[in-house]
């Protein structure tokens, strides 16, 4: 009882670290949670930027399932860094 169990959301995000994601090929599909890990930001920010049209390119693979690619995530991160003064 001394250890706390992780929430399902935490378990999913703990599955892949940033270094593992960056080692994937640029066209590998990843979830938006994994995009947040690559960008070192929250999933909420990724979703907000996406709805405003400033987020990474996403592909719909099901009625409620969105995916991006490692290359698209890295391009989005690079674009965000260049936009900052």
Residue 55 maps to which CATH number?
Answer: 1.10.1660
Kindly state whether residue 39 falls inside one of the protein's structural domains: yes
Give exposure, 13-22, as e/b (b: 16+ Cβ within 10 Å).
beebeeeebe
Segment 20-78, tens digit of pLDDT: 888 999 999 999 999 999 999 999 999 999 999 999 999 999 999 999 999 999 999 99
Look at residue 72 in the predicted model and tell me its pLDDT.
96
Look at residue 51 in the predicted model and tell me its pLDDT.
93
Kindly state whether residue 55 falls inside one of the protein's structural domains: yes
Q: At which residue do the structure tokens 């270094």 appear?
A: 19
- Other Cβ atoms less than 10 A from the Cβ of 29: the count is 13
Question: Which DSSP helix (H) or strand (E) runs through 35?
Answer: helix 32-39
Print the domain residue range for 32.
16-83
Residues linked to residue 29 through DSSP beta bridges, in sequence order: 69
Look at residue 15 in the predicted model and tell me its pLDDT.
58
Contacts of 51 (CB under 8 A, 6+ apart): none
């Amino acid at each position: 009882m001394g250890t706390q169990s992780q929430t399902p959301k935490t378990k999913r995000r703990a599955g892949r670290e940033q270094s593992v994601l960056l080692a994937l090929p640029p066209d590998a599909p990843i979830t938006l949670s994994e995009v947040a890990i690559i960008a070192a930001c929250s999933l909420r920010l990724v979703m907000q930027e996406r709805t405003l049209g400033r987020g990474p390119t996403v592909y719909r693979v099901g009625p409620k399932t969105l995916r991006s690619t490692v290359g698209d995530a890295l391009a989005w991160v690079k674009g965000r860094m260049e936009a900052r003064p």
